[in-house]
Structure 1
């Protein structure tokens, strides 16, 4: 169980790193006239994602489920794959990536990287991680509750995000203009 606690702590630190990047990118976006949408559901998202980490720990420490090697190692591989997909999304979007829904008028919609294949690849990573992370140590209650709550949240979030993104032009090349890399 100690190693699972370490895993959750590492994922928590990764989430904090995301928030640092997000805050920097939000300031960049707002300085360029960025418009935020969906503020009402953002706190729910923060609470739910925090509850995933805390819930998985509490469930494992209280229920003390057995570590099932086949399930555990497969779920760990999925967690790592989800992290890879998430950071591919972050690097592809560059300064436009954010944990909030902020669009900068005039910047084109990104259609490169994983966005070539699916409109919201980061949410694929979130769904995979939300199911797989607790199941690394058989915390099936947390996996089930998070997955159901997250489905409702993503239904709201994706609708908000699609409305906001509809205001952006699509870049012909799928790559952001040079403005993306300027400080």
Structure 2
């Protein structure tokens, strides 16, 4: 197995594990009375990320690895885990609003309104760069940017409503 294939195996396993965690957290939040906001765009997000991974496997599984870009990607994983740890049971890949719950303002949320999206945007660019797939980095950065524009606008509306409801 090449180093590139090992990296892609680990990233794929991580993403699948996160989907399982997200489904679990979503079910728990919904059972507590949370509501999902604008689920219609979610398949577009899943399709974009799945296409990114598939493209990386097709064109990157046997590529040499740029260790500097890989180091940046590994640093991004530490940031990703910081987000997950900060949100805990409230982390999900969907937009879920738990009525009367205070907004998270600790951890990376002290510095950015959407740290997870910034991290994901960087990952989508950096991992293809680590595999010398510059066109893939560009194409999926643009696609992800378009999807995130929809997502962030929708989430910002949901968070504004949640803030209005806070005591």
TM-score, scaled to structure 1: 0.84
Q: RMSD between aligned alpha carbons?
A: 1.7
Q: Shift of residue 57 of structure 1?
A: 2.1
Say which of 98, 111, 124 aligns to 1:130: 124
Question: What is the match of residue 18 of structure 1?
Answer: 18
Q: Shift of residue 7 of structure 1?
A: 0.6
Indicate yes or no: 2:97 matched with 1:103.
yes
Q: Shift of residue 59 of structure 1?
A: 2.0
Match of 1:168, SS state, is helix
Question: What is the match of residue 33 of structure 1?
Answer: 33
Q: Output the CA distance in 1 between the equivalents of 2:161 and 2:140.
A: 31
Q: Output the CA distance in 2 between the equivalents of 1:108 and 1:58.
A: 43
**Structure 2: 5+ residue stretches without partners:** none
Question: What is the match of residue 175 of structure 1?
Answer: none
Question: What is the match of residue 75 of structure 1?
Answer: 69
TM-score, scaled to structure 2: 0.92
Question: What is the match of residue 4 of structure 2?
Answer: 4
Q: Output the CA distance in 2 between the equivalents of 1:10 and 1:96.
A: 24
Q: Shift of residue 167 of structure 1?
A: 2.5
Question: What is the match of residue 164 of structure 1?
Answer: 158
- Alignment: residue pair count: 164
Match of 1:118, SS state, is coil
Q: Output the CA distance in 1 between the equivalents of 2:33 and 2:131.
A: 45
**Structure 1: 5+ residue stretches without partners:** 171-183
Moved over 6 A (4+): none
Cα deviation per residue 1:19-64 (whole Å; 9 max; x = unaligned)? 1211111011101111111211111111111111111221236xx7
Q: Output the CA distance in 2 between the equivalents of 1:143 and 1:6.
A: 19
